[in-house]
Amino acid sequence: MLILLPPSETKRPGGSGRPFDGERLALPSLTPQRTAVVDALVALSADEDAAARVLKLGPKQRGEVAVNAVLRDAPTMPAVHRYTGVLFDALDAASLPSTARRWLGAHVLIHSAPFGPVGALDPIPAYRLGAGTSLPGVPPLRRLWAEAASAAIADEQPRFVLDLRSEAYVALGPVPDGIPTRYVRVVSEGPDGAVRALNHFNKHAKGALVRRLAEERPRIASAAAFVRWADAVGLRVCETRAGELELFA
pLDDT in tens, 93-131: 999 999 999 999 999 999 999 999 999 999 999 999 999
Interval 162-189: pLDDT, tens: 999 999 999 999 999 999 999 999 998 8
Number of domains in the chain: 1
Do 162 and 142 touch, CB atoms closer than 8 A?
Answer: no
* Bridge partner list, 88: none
Do 42 and 71 touch, CB atoms closer than 8 A?
Answer: yes
Across all residues in the chain, what is the average pLDDT?
95
CA 224 – CA 102 distance, rounded (Å) = 25
Q: Which helix (H) or strand (E) holds 176?
A: none
Longest distance between any two alpha carbons in the chain, whole Å: 56
Which domain covers residue 37, as residue numbers? 2-248
Can you give the pTM of this predicted structure? Answer: 0.95
